[in-house]
């Protein structure tokens, strides 16, 4: 049980840390290559990285568990279906986000993208996954924190803002789809499958609408490798592993810490100065995450009953 708690809480925070630091790399990439081209390249890197990781893990399981390494009946079908569903949602989300970064500020993009922390629990109501009241309070605190952290000018709906808003809905769908399939298949294999689908779909969009060049790709090679290996290959896999047997609303709150890490990374690496409002936003975000981890009254009752029988 303790191991599960570590996986459900530490993994999404690590993913948020990676995404926060990778935001700079995505912004650099947007200056040189178009969205489909950038996401085709990053997805290809992630797919190859995860394919190698899957092969290594499979050999380890085969050596240690022998027959237990055989796939469960129906798992291959679930893996293909899950890879397609997750890959489609991720393709639309990442390309909308990358497109939005061309014309909107990083502060607005960070705030609007993280609105999935509101969208996920609302969508969960319709999927019969109701969140406790304490989670809703955490969501409210997190939204207020994101606003203080990211919004530094008047919030207007520009074309870029609209793209990123659509991206937030797609990331919400991605979280909910993962919540469904991660119970049925291996997390690393699901991540590998989704990036194969993302690579193919983004590649089709690239060839149909853009003009990729090796020169432009070579200029932002390091950002592509960083985003491909760490942001895509590692962080999205951590997200999938974290969501196994977890509340998707709580995981989405932890993932939204990427805005905090992005701001802190800018201060430490780029020597950007944070205002008092931004520091206050960090405090609100951290308070929201801590609050989300507190047991609800319904969870406390069994503990009290158990202690009373001793």
Domain ranges of the chain: 2-65+79-294
Rounded to a whole number of angstroms, the distance between the first and last alpha carbons of the chain is: 21
Between 116 and 175, residue with greater pLDDT: 175
Average pLDDT over residues 23-42: 87
Query: Which of 11-25, 101-115, 169-183, 231-245 bottoms out in mean pLDDT, i.e. has the lowest?
Result: 101-115
pLDDT greater than 90 at residue 200: yes
Structure tokens, 282? 């960090």
Query: Which of 62-66, 195-199, 298-302 shows the lowest mean pLDDT across its residues?
Result: 298-302
In the chain, what percentage of residues exceed pLDDT 70?
A: 80
User: Is the model's pLDDT at 106 over the cut of 70?
Assistant: no
Distances 110 to 9, 15, 145, 161, 189 between C-alpha atoms, Å:
21, 15, 12, 10, 29
pLDDT of residue 95: 93
Regarding pTM above 0.85, the answer is no
Given this model, what pLDDT does residue 309 score?
41
> What percent of the chain is modeled with pLDDT above 90?
26
């Amino acid at each position: 049980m303790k191991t599960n708690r570590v996986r459900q809480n530490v993994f999404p925070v690590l993913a948020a840390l990676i995404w926060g630091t990778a935001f700079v790399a995505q912004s650099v990439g947007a200056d040189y290559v178009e969205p489909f081209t950038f996401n085709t390249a990053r997805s290809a890197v992630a797919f190859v990285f995860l394919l190698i990781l899957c092969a290594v893990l499979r050999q380890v399981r085969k050596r240690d568990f022998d027959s237990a390494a055989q796939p469960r009946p129906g798992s291959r079908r679930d893996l293909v279906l899950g890879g397609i569903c997750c890959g489609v949602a991720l393709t639309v989300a990442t390309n909308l986000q990358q497109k939005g970064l061309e014309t909107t500020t990083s502060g607005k993009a960070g705030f609007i993208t993280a609105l999935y922390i509101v969208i996920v629990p609302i969508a969960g109501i319709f999927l019969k996954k109701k969140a406790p009241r304490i989670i809703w309070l955490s969501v409210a605190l997190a939204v207020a924190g994101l606003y203080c952290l990211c919004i530094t000018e008047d919030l207007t709906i520009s074309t870029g803002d609209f793209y990123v808003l659509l991206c937030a809905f797609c990331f919400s769908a991605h979280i909910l789809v993962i919540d469904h399939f991660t119970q049925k298949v291996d997390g690393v294999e699901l991540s590998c499958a989704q990036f194969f689908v993302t690579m193919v779909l983004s590649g089709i969009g690239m060839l149909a609408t853009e003009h990729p060049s090796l020169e432009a790709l070579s200029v932002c090679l390091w950002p592509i490798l960083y985003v491909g290996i760490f942001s895509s290959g590692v962080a999205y896999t951590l997200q999938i592993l974290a969501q196994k047997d977890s509340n998707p609303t709580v995981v989405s709150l932890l993932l939204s810490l990427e805005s905090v890490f992005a701001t802190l990374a800018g201060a430490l690496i780029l020597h950007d100065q944070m205002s008092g409002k931004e520091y206050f936003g960090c405090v609100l975000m951290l308070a929201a995450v801590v609050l989300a981890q507190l047991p609800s009254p319904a969870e406390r009752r069994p503990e009290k009953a158990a202690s009373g029988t001793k």
